[in-house]
Structure 1
Amino acid sequence: MKKLVVFDLDGTLLNTIADLAASTNHALEAFGFPTHPVEAYNYFVGNGIFKLFERALPENARTPENIERIRSVFVPYYNEHNTDLSRPYPGIPELLQALHRRGVQLAVASNKYQAATEKLVAYYFPEIPFVSVLGQREGVPTKPDAGIVNQSREAAQATSAETLYVGDSNVDMQTALNAGVDAVGVTWGFRPVEELQAYRPRYIARRAADILDFLD
């Protein structure tokens, strides 16, 4: 029986792509760089904001200086606008409530920077008592490093066998493998199901309620 379910945030609990795209395009435009359609951001996100900016910049402009310039405009703008268009995926609030009622502990493990991770989780799921809400923090390796899942397990006092990790991308599937926990790949997120299946996750969820069947 699973004691802990750890969720990725972007593309798993929340559809955040429109706000991420708008904020990155705003920063790119501020410095005269070309912008991108929203759907392009499905493949830019997943490895934290610095990798997002690197991917969004023109290939000949991917310098540390330009990445920092984009960050300096993106962060304050995104902090102001990150709930404009973002929404929970269908069935997610009900899933979290159902898991909580069953006594399953819940955690969030994201590559989004910590302040935004905490804000979005508190804003969209204020009634859910997550045991830990972890994002990208300075000096801490990002996913697919297993550290963020291990920290979540420590907070919940759960073993690897008692933990389920839920995500929508190859980064998430690699994270679960590295942490030695069962993975659930969700098909409603930013990446195609074939990308998830390449990593042989224990389960594939096509709707949120499916995850309730993977606890035993």
Structure 2
Amino acid sequence: MKQLVIFDLDGTLLNTIADLAAAANHALAALGLPVRSQTECQSFVGNGVGKLLERALPEGYKTPEYMAKIRPAFFEYYDKHLADNTRPYTGMAELLSSLQKRGIKLAVASNKYQSATERLVKYFFPEIHFTAVLGQREGIPVKPDPTIVNDILFAAGCTREDVLYVGDSDVDMQTAKNAGVRVCGVLWGFRTREVLAGYQPDYLTENPQEILDMVM
């Protein structure tokens, strides 16, 4: 029985792409640069805000100078609007509640910056107790580096054999492999079945309730 389930946030627990795209486009427009489609932005996310913005910038503008300008414009907007159109994926709140009732420890491991990660988890899942809610933190490498998983394992007092990691992206599949934990790829998020299957996850699912069977 897996005693700890670690969830990615964006594309796994929450559909955040509309608000991320709006913030990125607000920042691009503030610099007089062309905006991106939501589909484009969806392909840019997964490696943290810095990479999202670098990928969103046009060729020829991916410079330290433009990065220094676009980051504050993004954060100013996103901090005010991070929950405007963001919603939990269908069945995720029920899944978390069921896992919690069964005594399974829960955690979040995200490449979203720490303050936004904490705010979104608290806002959308107020009844759920998470052993750890970790996002991108200063001086800590982002996923797919396994540090975030190792930090959660320490906080939870669990071994790698106790863990199921749940995520929607290639970054998540790599993170779990690098951390030496079992992984479930979810198919309602920001990447395709083909992308996830290429990493040979232990499980692939289209139904959140199937995750209950993976931890029993």
TM-score, normalised relative to structure 2: 0.99
Which structure 1 residue ranges, 5 or more long, are not aligned?
Answer: none
SS state of the match for residue 43, structure 1? helix
Tell me what 2:58 maps to: 58
Q: Which residue pairs with 2:111 in the alignment?
A: 111
Q: Map 1:45-124 to 2 at 5 A.
A: 45-124=45-124
Q: Distance in 2 between matches of 1:3 and 1:158?
A: 8
User: Partners of 2:174 and 2:158 in 1: how far apart?
Assistant: 20
How far the C-alpha of 1:74 sits from its partner, in A, is: 0.7
How far is 1:64 from its partner? 1.5
Identity %: 59
1:161 and 1:41 mapped to 2: Cα distance? Answer: 35
1:28 aligned residue: 28
Structure 2 unaligned spans of 5+: none
Structure 2 Cα separation of the partners of residues 132 and 89 of structure 1: 21
Residue in structure 1 matched with residue 202 of structure 2 by the alignment: 202
RMSD value, Cα: 0.6
Structure 2 match to 1:141: 141
Aligned to 1:41: 41
**4+ long deviations beyond 3 Å:** none
How far off its partner does 1:142 sit?
A: 0.1
Q: How far does residue 140 in structure 1 lie from its aligned partner after superposition?
A: 0.3
- For residue 170 of structure 1, report the CA deviation from its aligned partner: 0.4
CA distance in 1, matches of 2:76, 2:135: 17
Structure 1 residue 11 displacement after superposition:
0.1
Structure 1 residue 59: Cα displacement: 1.4
Partner of 2:162: 162
Separation (CA, whole Å) in 2 of partners of 1:9 and 1:59 = 29
Tell me the TM-score normalised to structure 1 length. 0.99
Equivalent pairs, count: 216
Q: Secondary structure at the match of 1:196?
A: helix
Matched residue, 1:212: 212
